[in-house]
Structure 1
């Protein structure tokens, strides 16, 4: 059985990268630090590298609760430190009395300077504080080139990680059964909606899987996928627990409502 059969077709390129990283560490005895990975990509790395006697893999995104993290693959005898992940915390300074900055606005400004999303970690908006975690190698470029967000003029500066704002996410754990791992089937079960309603949301661009809009109801879901449904909130597939006697799949999920 090919290793690709355990994952989605569109993930093959990423799988090839992970296998290359693994081989690089195995044969050269050097560490490999990745860009920021979403939860599903972290799952793939753990699946392909975890449990290897020759290589250890660790993840860090600035805080224990970070969603987007960099992976560090190291020879088994190396003990990684937080500094090895090469992260910086930036704060966005702006006139909060006159302006409000939203997550989509800041992400749009960050993407507008030509860097790929993988160079940015979590965006944290807590009250009037706006912070973001970035790869150290791009921090100065971000500071120089992001001068406005929406209508707000901004200044970006590096601050210590000791000042990071953590937004505690409360996930309500639930269990259910599904007939397949189609996106419309999974979301209908988790949010207790009809498949027809979910299909309308998906085709209308209201659903994201791992931060990317997915408009195909037949999209196959898997463990550690993170879903966002406009107007309903976020949820994630925590685990697949096997099948029932009637050949339905038992799943455990986390639900975070708006």
Structure 2
């Protein structure tokens, strides 16, 4: 069965497809599965496989309605999922140190991963000038609370909070306007990160670029408004708007780079 499913997904996704297919098969046999936090692409794969079964359903939850990363609860269709504990805890980070205001998403993520926590155990991270709120899997939340004492050399305090205390912040995008020859992936990535076309071809063809969380190795792939592009080592950006075409046939686009 998996061989047929593989045709719909990138080869590098096949391992996750296998895992998700096993979760669905076990749910058909009356078992349940609470996954780690999934990115939107992984959630799409799980949804696709669940939809192939008439006897299984799934609930996604990331700790709040607008979450990007979510845990999935996969179960037989007769099981009511609304009241299931999704195993998500809210952790607050504060500090009297004024340097706290200078910390960004990457600083907090680096500190958490530095504790030996896998990325899959961490949900969305919301950074504010006065600290940070982030979601974590219940099974690692106490460990993080007890051991996260510093973020990028800033001493911090952490506490577990009720989920309804979450203060979610809007994702900050640094907007920029560009004039590009085409909407090709390699051309826009080149202009956004100010790299030569030759230099961006290497990571794209090596599988280190994703469009909407899906690995893309075709440099000529056309981008469209709303696409989110990530390039390993450089961050990610969103094509906010295709504003029009100049008299010389170039495209005017508005880009939002994630801070």
Structure 1 residue 185 corresponds to structure 2 residue 184: yes
The counterpart of 1:103, out of the listed 105, 111, 114, is 105
Aligned structure 1 segments of 4 or more residues deviating by more than 3 angstroms:
168-171, 186-193, 196-205, 214-222, 228-232, 254-258
In the aligned structure 2, how far is the partner of 1:50 from the partner of 1:209? 25
User: Where do 5+ consecutive residues of structure 2 fail to align?
Assistant: 174-181, 241-253
- The match for 2:55 is 54
Q: How does 1:120-139 map to 2 (within 5 A)?
A: 120-139=122-141
Alpha-carbon offset, residue 185 of structure 1: 2.8
CA RMSD of aligned residues (A): 4.0
- The match for 1:44 is 45
Q: How does 1:1-258 map to 2 (within 5 A)?
A: 2-27=4-29, 29-50=30-51, 52-81=53-82, 84-99=85-100, 100-168=102-170, 185-186=184-185, 188=187, 200-201=199-200, 203=202, 209=210, 218=219, 226-228=228-230, 233-235=237-239, 256=256
In the aligned structure 2, how far is the partner of 1:60 from the partner of 1:114? 24
In the aligned structure 2, how far is the partner of 1:216 from the partner of 1:166? 34
Q: Number of residue pairs matched?
A: 227
2:36 touches 2:72 (CA, 8 Å); kept in 1? yes
Provide closer, same or farther for how the CA distance between residues 170 and 153 of structure 1 changes in structure 2, counting only shifts above 3 A: closer
- The normalised TM-score by structure 1 is 0.72
Question: SS where residue 111 of structure 2 aligns?
Answer: helix
- The match for 1:246 is none
In the aligned structure 2, how far is the partner of 1:95 from the partner of 1:202? 45
Listed one character per residue, the Cα deviations across residues 110-150 of structure 1 (whole Å, up to 9, x for unaligned) are 11111210000001113323011000010011112211100
- The match for 2:251 is none
In the aligned structure 1, how far is the partner of 2:140 from the partner of 2:212? 21
1:228 touches 1:235 (CA, 8 Å); kept in 2? no
- The normalised TM-score by structure 2 is 0.72
Provide closer, same or farther for how the CA distance between residues 215 and 109 of structure 1 changes in structure 2, counting only shifts above 3 A: farther
In the aligned structure 1, how far is the partner of 2:53 from the partner of 2:216? 36
In the aligned structure 2, how far is the partner of 1:70 from the partner of 1:219? 33
User: Where do 5+ consecutive residues of structure 1 fail to align?
Assistant: 172-178, 237-253
Listed one character per residue, the Cα deviations across residues 175-199 of structure 1 (whole Å, up to 9, x for unaligned) are xxxx9xxxx9346479998xx8566
Provide closer, same or farther for how the CA distance between residues 157 and 82 of structure 1 changes in structure 2, counting only shifts above 3 A: farther
Alpha-carbon offset, residue 53 of structure 1: 2.0
Alpha-carbon offset, residue 104 of structure 1: 0.7
Alpha-carbon offset, residue 13 of structure 1: 0.6
Range 94-103 or range 35-44, more displaced: 94-103
- The match for 2:243 is none
1:32 touches 1:74 (CA, 8 Å); kept in 2? yes
1:54 touches 1:76 (CA, 8 Å); kept in 2? yes
Alpha-carbon offset, residue 200 of structure 1: 3.8
